[in-house]
Structure 1
Amino acid sequence: MGEKPSVVILGASRDRTKFGNKSLRAHQRNGYDVFPINPHAEEIEGVAAFAGIGDLPRKTFNRVSIYLPPAVLLPMLPELAELAVEEIYLNPGSESPEVIEKATALNLPIIQACSIIDVGDHPSDL
């Protein structure tokens, strides 16, 4: 059996009603190794959390799923570009014309869609 796919949840939340938490749970139950990023949490849903992108234990991931407002995300994009990532989901609310422009300039493989639905779940079921 191959290695499990991996996902960074940028903007992971301890609050189970927030999409950053629902995404973590959806990816977990669909076979992903999850790497939550939240500078205010040591763990989320029993998984060790990381304070920032630079604190991740590796630099290669299948996916990054983003749950941050554009103003917070924009200055993080260059650091995100240092990772080797197959796809980056800009979930609803994380995108803006400025984010799209900068992500495109950095050659980031962005997808503007809901990553929870992509893994086969629906946010209302979580």
Structure 2
Amino acid sequence: MSRRRPTVAIIGASNDPNKFGNKAVRAFASRGWQVFPVNPSLDEVEGLPAYHDIQSVPADHLDRVTFYVPPRVGLDVIDEVPAKHVDEVWLNPGSESPELVHKAETLGLNVVQACSILDIGESPRDY
């Protein structure tokens, strides 16, 4: 019996290999996660289909949503996250703000403020 792959939506996924939104896609994929890149301007990231918003992600439940966008963008997106029944919301360095954390917690989301790439045992420097 195969185990379900963990799922992650990467808000702010990028095609620029120097940006953390791209490094995260590669790091999570290398660790066997099912990765859903989210970026309103892209159709594909690292060979994976990209979704223009989190509502378009074809999963009813996500283990993790990780943010690689400025806090003001995160404030616009965070309201859509609870509909995906998310276990954890990660606000990576540069994406967090007191307002965003407060709003996420008010929505009942489990917020972690840390680097999600390091959390899965990878280093952004390696990508």
Superposed pair shares fold, TM > 0.5: yes
Separation in 2 of the partners of 1:24 and 1:84? 21
Separation in 1 of the partners of 2:62 and 2:37? 12
SS at match of 1:63: strand
Separation in 2 of the partners of 1:59 and 1:82? 8
CA drift at 1:59: 2.3
SS at match of 2:65: strand
Structure 1: where are the runs of 5+ without partners?
Answer: none
SS at match of 1:34: strand
CA drift at 1:36: 0.2
AA aligned to 1:87 is E
CA drift at 1:7: 0.5
Structure 2: where are the runs of 5+ without partners?
Answer: none
Aligned to 2:94: 93
Once the two structures are superposed, what CA deviation does each residue of 1:80-108 show, in whole Å capped at 9, x if it has no partner? Answer: 12211111110001110100111111111
AA aligned to 1:24 is V
Separation in 2 of the partners of 1:54 and 1:104? 20
Separation in 2 of the partners of 1:78 and 1:42? 23
AA aligned to 2:125 is S
Q: Is 1:18 equivalent to 2:19 in the alignment?
A: yes
AA aligned to 2:23 is K
Give the 4+ runs in structure 1 shifted more than 6 A: none
Separation in 2 of the partners of 1:76 and 1:121? 26
Percent identity over the alignment is 46
Matches within 5 A, 1:1-126: 1-126=2-127
Separation in 1 of the partners of 2:90 and 2:102? 15
- What TM-score results when the alignment is normalised by the length of structure 2? 0.96
Separation in 2 of the partners of 1:88 and 1:100? 10
AA aligned to 2:86 is V
AA aligned to 2:105 is T
SS at match of 1:50: coil
Separation in 2 of the partners of 1:75 and 1:49? 19
CA RMSD of aligned residues (A): 0.8
Separation in 1 of the partners of 2:57 and 2:6? 16
